[in-house]
Amino acid sequence: MGRMEKNIIQTAEPVGREFVDTDGLRQMFGLKRSLAYELLWAGLIKGVSLRRPGKRTGKRLFEVQSVRDFLNGQTGLHDQKGGK
């Protein structure tokens, strides 16, 4: 029985990520940096900027669920515009 428990633990899927950077967006969804920022600025996906006080630059992270929601909302869009 100990062996079986070990196999279950080894095959369990890792916990999904809630936020990713642009590299993560590219790996998960195939979205490049420029499109990610366009979607963010248009309010179509969500993100956060992590900056130290007084600094101009920081680390931009994108909310994975908002990207999924955006992409899922696009599935019927092509058909509605008369495409295939």
Confidence of residue 42 (pLDDT cuts 50, 70, 90): very high
Q: Is 54 exposed, middle or buried (0-12, 13-18, 19+ CB in 10 A)?
A: exposed
Q: pTM above the 0.75 mark?
A: no
Q: What is the pLDDT of residue 17?
A: 85
Q: What is the pLDDT of residue 81?
A: 57
Confidence of residue 11 (pLDDT cuts 50, 70, 90): very low
Polymer length of the chain: 84
